[in-house]
Amino acid sequence: MRLRYLYLFVLVASLASASSLISPVFAPYRDYQSVMTDFMELADSFPDQMTHEVVGKTVLNKDIIMFKIGNPNGGKVLIDGAIHGGETIGPELLCFYAKWLLTSSDPLARRILSGTCTMLIPALNVDRYSGPRKNMNGVDLNRNFATDWDHAGSTDPDSESYRGTAPLSEPEPQTLIRVLQTFSPDFYVNLHMWAGPYYGGSYYGNRTYYSILASRISSLSYDRGVTPLRYSGQLGGAGFAISDAARVGVTSFLIELAETAIPYTDIKAVLLPRFIPLVAVLSQECETQTLFDDGFESGDFSAWSGVTLSPNDHADVVDLNPYSGTFSARFETGAISSGTKRAYTYKDINGSPTIYARACFYIADGLPLTDTDDRFTLIQFLSSSGSAISNLQIRHVQGEDRFTVLAFGSTQTTAGIYPEENKWYCLELLTCIHSTEGAVKGYINGVEYLSLTGMNTTELGNVATVRFGLANSIDIQHGLVVYCDCASISTSYIGTQIFPPWDVNEDGLVGMLDLVIVVKAFGSKPSDPHWNPDADVDKNDYINTLDLYIVSSHYGEEY
């Protein structure tokens, strides 16, 4: 008998040891109804500051509910939890965070509440709450999103990371995509557990901006007397929710909240204080004022400070070849064998130590360039004295045309990417003025290709003027024609705008899916049941042969 008990003890001990190596199926927290009751009671207690709505349905037709807290006209931060059934620490944390926002006397809570619309989806995988990881169709929802879905998770339905039969095949990811499209949040945070604690940004977002945010989150954490969550850099994220969010311009983070099921009381006492600085920084970023934004839809340059032209050169706003909307700006300079030509529009701004500028450019004529160092600048930053601080340009280097960043007239870096005519590019220029950590960076279609860092950039002072167009064309042997659209200037990262109207499903590739969407809505108008505004590529409220032609003419293009 004693031997039998000994064997039993050894077996139990062995199983306990083995279980520590396997992620538990569910966490020992409250059930879904209990959590949602707390949320609903908060909404009832603070009706002027908290609302809720059904944003989608699950496989079992259960409601997916989103709560909005704070200023409905403020910047938007979207946070969701329980995308995996057993990862219920996220909803519990969001419940504590909502209570802190609405009931705390903390000045930080008051600031977030007054300036930000905080949108909380406590659980996406409602059907399997506190249960298995996958949804009721057996799909890992965080491997079912469209970005790089072919390389996501597993094709085996028995796998815990089974990605499903097709991208966005499940109603829960479809719901999140609709929320992103409908509410256009500035930031998105996706909560997980069974790893960490750490957080990471999306591989498809702006690396520099993520680093800036992580530094601010760390500083605020220390200021509030807590250890910052560890920042792990950017995550590849094939099939991830944060990847789809980032691809449509929403700066997104994934947080692994805990490696084990921490005690329920520690969620409020330990985890919440570390979570608050992260969301607070994102909320503060929403307050950052865009200094200037213009897509030329006024039909002229009236929103700008002015236009500069050298003799016989031209700058016009035209209804030809827009990237989006109806109008774009067209800049043209003639040939000059030696010297400089200019055709650009500019905006004067209040000097700032950090400036981002973004615009979409289309080179209609002028490539290839001829001789070494022949070049033209598309975005240029100037100091209050009129001296050039930084330039994002196309330059003839080592026998090839390349995108280049030039800083202070002498320091340059060149990207291994070669511009082409008759193709839109989304270009971004960052300049950070600092005595030791100064930086000038260039981004092409959302990817950082050009980087000068660790510089003393205080020599010329803050940025005072931003030029868009053909800011200077130097030693160009033939004429240039460039279109510009979607220009924006900000003290914070703007986000790329890389999806033209003909990339109907905004996946970065004009392909069969885009054609299928247009075909399904063919012949419809806004009043028709099968109307799809995304398929109305030319935006004339009628989906016809012209829409199909536009998509077909760009078939195979990547963005």
Cβ–Cβ under 8 Å, residues 452 and 364: no
Residue 279 CB neighbours (<10 A): 22
What distance in Å separates the CA atoms of residue 217 and residue 163, rounded to the nearest whole number? 33
Strand partners for 473: 341, 376
Compute φ and ψ for 110, nearest 5 degrees.
-65, -40
Start-to-end CA span in the chain (Å) = 72
What distance in Å separates the CA atoms of residue 467 and residue 341, rounded to the nearest whole number? 14
For residue 216 the two structure tokens come to 């601010």
CA 168 to chain centre: 19
pLDDT category at 289 given cuts 50, 70, 90 is low
DSSP letter assigned to residue 150: G
Vertex 217 angle, CA 228 and 291, to 5°: 175
Cβ–Cβ under 8 Å, residues 439 and 453: yes
- Give the gyration radius of the chain's Cα atoms: 26
Q: Which helix (H) or strand (E) holds 463?
A: strand 463-474
Domains of the chain: 22-286 (3.40.630.10), 290-490 (2.60.120.200), 512-553 (no CATH)
Outline where 430-523 has alpha helix (H): 512-520
Give tens-digit pLDDT for 153-177: 999 999 999 999 999 999 999 999 9
Question: Which segment, 9-23, 131-145, 364-378, 474-488, is predicted with the most confidence on average?
Answer: 131-145
Give tens-digit pLDDT for 516-549: 889 989 999 888 888 887 788 876 778 998 888 8
* Mean pLDDT calculated for residue range 278-302: 89
What's the pLDDT score for residue 6? Answer: 34
DSSP string, 523-535: T--TTSTT--GGG
What distance in Å separates the CA atoms of residue 242 and residue 252, rounded to the nearest whole number? 5
Task: Tell me the HSE value of 159 on the side-chain side, using a 13 A CA sphere.
Answer: 12
Strand partners for 200: 254
Amino acid at 240: F
Cβ–Cβ under 8 Å, residues 402 and 414: yes
For residue 337 the two structure tokens come to 């064998």
Residue labelled with tokens 């001296």: 387
According to the 3-state scheme, what is the secondary structure of 224-279? Answer: CCCCCCEEEEEECCCCCHHHHHHHCCCEEEEEECCCCCCCHHHHHHHHHHHHHHHH
What distance in Å separates the CA atoms of residue 57 and residue 124, rounded to the nearest whole number? 9
CA dihedral in degrees (336, 339, 341, 346; nearest 10)? 160
Q: Which helix (H) or strand (E) holds 220?
A: helix 207-223
* Res. 559: pLDDT tops 70: no
pLDDT category at 24 given cuts 50, 70, 90 is very low
Which residues make Cβ contacts (< 8 Å) with residue 434, sequence separation at least 6? 353, 456, 457, 458
* Res. 18: pLDDT tops 60: no
Cβ–Cβ under 8 Å, residues 338 and 476: no
Nearest of 284, 325, 248 to residue 108 by alpha carbon: 284
Q: Which is more confidently placed, 343 or 490?
A: 343
What distance in Å separates the CA atoms of residue 222 and residue 229, rounded to the nearest whole number? 11
pLDDT category at 26 given cuts 50, 70, 90 is low
Which residues make Cβ contacts (< 8 Å) with residue 22, sequence separation at least 6? none
What distance in Å separates the CA atoms of residue 396 and residue 296, rounded to the nearest whole number? 30
Cβ–Cβ under 8 Å, residues 281 and 311: no
Round the average pLDDT of the chain to a whole number and report it. Answer: 88
What distance in Å separates the CA atoms of residue 210 and residue 493, rounded to the nearest whole number? 9
For residue 11 the two structure tokens come to 């077996």
What's the pLDDT score for residue 19? Answer: 31
Strands 251-256 and 187-192: parallel
Helix, strand or coil for residue 425? strand
CA distances from 41 to 35, 53, 177 (A): 10, 14, 28
Beta-sheet strand order (sheet of 230-235):
50-57, 63-70, 116-121, 75-80, 187-192, 251-256, 198-202, 230-235
Which residues make Cβ contacts (< 8 Å) with residue 88, sequence separation at least 6? 26, 27, 29, 30, 35, 81, 82, 123, 129, 130
pLDDT category at 496 given cuts 50, 70, 90 is low
What distance in Å separates the CA atoms of residue 206 and residue 212, rounded to the nearest whole number? 10
Strand partners for 338: none
For residue 526 the two structure tokens come to 């806004």
CA 137 to chain centre: 29
What distance in Å separates the CA atoms of residue 57 and residue 127, rounded to the nearest whole number? 10
What's the pLDDT score for residue 539? Answer: 65
Helix, strand or coil for residue 474? strand
Give tens-digit pLDDT for 55-93: 999 999 999 999 999 999 888 999 999 999 999 999 999
What distance in Å separates the CA atoms of residue 188 and residue 246, rounded to the nearest whole number? 9
Of the listed ranges 348-362, 406-420, 453-467, the one predicted with least confidence: 406-420
Residue 290 CB neighbours (<10 A): 12
